[in-house]
Structure 1
C-alpha cells in the first residue's frame, strides 16, 4: 500500500459559469429568457445568444409559427414558410399547391418512334424495332455504341441483334455479371471471402494476416500502446494478453483498482483513491498516513516563520528553520559572521537577527559587497578620454592635447612659444600653428624661403637671396651694337639704335621682311633702311608709282578716301599718294610711337565723326606718316568734345603710328 498527496485538477467552465468547480452561474444574456415557445437559449458569449426553436416554430426568438414543420410539400417539393401559410416549389414532374399532382409528360408525345409510358414524376419510351434513345430518336445500329460492359467485345449478328464476347470473370448478355470466384476459396481462420474480377480476396479477422489469413498478427508489435498504464504486452496465437502494474486491472489494464475498498483511514478521515495507492484526508488535529496520530504542529511549536512537519511514524513535530535561525524550535539566532567571511572585498560583517549585514568598502556594493561599482558608467572622462575602472575609483586616459583628472584641460602647446623668427603661435587641439612673417615658412617658421627659386634675375644676372627679398647682380654692359643699358629694379633693358632689335640689340632688323617693294620690285636690306629695285614702268620709294599716273583722277582719289584705314587691304590705295591705305596692307601689326599730338577743331562732334576717314588721310599727308584714332577697351574711337570754358585739356590724345621701314 502507498499513500499520495491530495487531488489536483482544473475545470474548464462553459459560457455562463465560473469558480473552481464551475458551480457559480454568471449573469448573462439568457437570464431574461428571450426565447419563446419552449425554445432553448444557447449562449455564444455572455452578451450574445441564439435560440434553438422547438418543432413548429421559427424566427430569432422562436415566436413565429413554422408552417413548413409538418412537411406539407410532397414528392420532394421545397417548402418556403410565410407569416400565415407556406408555398411549395415542386420538383420536375409534379405540380399543385402541395406538389401532389403527377404531370403526365406523355401528353406532349415525347417519344418519336415508340410508345410513351407515364411514370411517377417522369416518363419512359418503349421504342419500335430498329430505334433507340431516351425518346426513341435514334435509329438502332447493333454495336454502335457497344452495349457490352466491362470490356466486352460487341459483334453484330444482323440488323437488329448482336453478341458480346466477355473477358474472363464476367458473363451475361452484355457481360454485366461478375462471376463469383469465392466458391472453393482457400481463406482460413474465419476469414471472409470477397469476390473480385476473375479473382477473390480474403478479408482477415484482426488477429490474422496474409493472402489467406494464415499468419498470426503480433498485436504487441503492431500496436505498442494496446496495453495501457505501463502494462507489459505478451503476444498469443490469435490474440494478446496484458500484464498490469500495481493499481490497474482489466483486459488492457485501463481500469484503476479502488484501493479505498480495503483501506483503513481512522478518526473520520476521508479516503481518496489513487493509482496503486490511496490518500487519507485527515480531520483537523489529526495526522499520519492513516490519520491515526495527533497533529503535534497544531500548537505551533516552531518559531521565526519555520515550517512545522509532523512525523507520520510517531506523531512528533520537526521544525524546518528559515535561514538565520537554528535549534529544535528555531529560536536560536545563527551568527553568520562567525561562520566565515560572507562579505567580499574586505567588507565589514555585522550580525543581525536571522541574518547579517555587510558594510562595504569604497567602490563596492551589494548584499555581500560582491558588486564592483563601475565609476565609468557616469562617463566622467571628457574630450573623448578613455575611462579605466579601478578598485574604488577610476582613471582617465586622455586624448593627445588634453590632461587633468577628467581630461578637462586643453594643453596650451604655445607655452613656451615654439615659433621661430618672430612667428606668432596659435594654440590648437593637440598641436599649434605658427603664423610666419614674410620670408619664412615651415611648421615653426624655421625655414628662410628662397626668393631666388623662381629665377627672377634675367639676362645672365646672378640672384642673391635675402630675407623676403633678393638682389640681382647684372653682368657688365650686356647691350650690343651700340645699345644703351637702362638699369631697373631687379632687371635691365637695352635701348637699341635704329636698325637693331632683340633683348640685347643683337639682331639686325630686316626691313625687307615686310615686303615693302611693290609691283615685283626687288628689296635690298641695309642697316636701318632698305632700297627697292623697280621693274621698268614703275618708280617711287617702294616702286609704287605707275609711270602712267592715275592719282590725279578724281574718281581714284574718292575711292582711296572712302577705303582708307577700313581694316581691309585695297592694293589700289596702297601707295604713298593714298598714304598706304592706312596700313591695311601691312603684314605686321603697327606699333604706337612715343609722343602725343593735340589738335583742336572747331566743328560739331557728330559732323566730325562722319568725316574721320578724310581727316586722317589729310593729316597723314601733312605729317608724312599714318595716323589712327586710339580706341578704348570697347574698341570705340577716343573722340571727345571740349569747350574753352572747361579750362585744361582732358587727358585724351591721338597718337601717330609711324610706318616701319
Structure 2
C-alpha cells in the first residue's frame, strides 16, 4: 500500500516537473517577442496590429499582408486593413504602405481602405492610398465591401481630393489649405456642419443652404433636411430665407439648432434670438426639422421650455421642475426613470 502511494506521488511530481519545464520553455522562447512587440499575444490572430508589424515580431505573424494572413480570432481583412511591409511576402507591393509610412502616418492600416482619413491625406501617406479622390478610391478595399459604403459621399464621410496626380483633383472644392482649418471629409456631404460653415471652408460645400445643399442616396434620412440649415453664404440665392447670421457663430452654441423646436441652453440668449423662440411655449414653432418628432414638447423627462425672452407673452408662465431644464449639448438625461 505504501509503495503504491509513493509511486503515485512520484508520478504526480514527475508530471509537475514536466509541466513546469514546458511552461519555463515557452516563457523563454517568447520573452524576446514580449519585449519587442506591442501585443505579442495578438501575433497571428488574423488582425493586423501595427505595433507587431516589425521583423522581430514576424510582421505580426503574417497578419498585415493579405497573402500571408490566416483567419484566427479575427477574419482577415474583415474589420481591419493591411499594412504589408514584409519583404518576403509575395504581395508586399500590392498596397501603398511602405516602411516610411509606418513611422510617419498615424494608422497605415487605414491607407487605401475606401474611406478618406484627413490625417492620412498628405503626400507622406500617399494621400490615404487614393481614398480621398473619387477617381482613385477603390471600394473593394473597404472592410465591409458588401455594405456598399466604401468610396462614397454621405453619412460615412466624403472626398477631399488634393492629390496633384489624381485626374479628378479639381472635381471638388477642397484645397490643401482647408486641411488645417476644416473637417474636410464632411464638406459637401449633405449635412450642415457648423464648424465648416465659414468662407475658409466654402460654407461647408453648400450644405448649410437649402438651395445649394445636395443630398446623397445612402439611406441616411436627414440629409438636406428642411429646418437643418444655417445659410450665411452671401453668394447663395437663398441666403435671406432664414434668420441665421454670421454673427451668431460668434455668440451661439449650435447655430443649426436655432428654431428647430428644441430649447438649447447655449442658444437661449438675446444674441441668438432666444434659440429662435424654441425656449418659450408661446413662441416655439414645430418645424420640419430633424428634431420634429420631439419639437415643442417634453423629451426624455427634460422640459423643453426655459423662457427667458421678456418680450414673449408667456414669459414667466413656465413652472420648471427643479433640476429639469432646457436641452444641453451634454444631453444629461435622467436615467433613474428608466432603470
TM-score (structure 1 length as normaliser): 0.15
Larger radius of gyration: 1
Structure with the largest fraction of strand: 1
Q: Name the one with the larger helix percent.
A: 2
Higher relative contact order, structure no. (Cα contacts within 8 Å, ≥ 6 residues apart): 2
With normalisation by structure 2, the TM-score equals 0.25
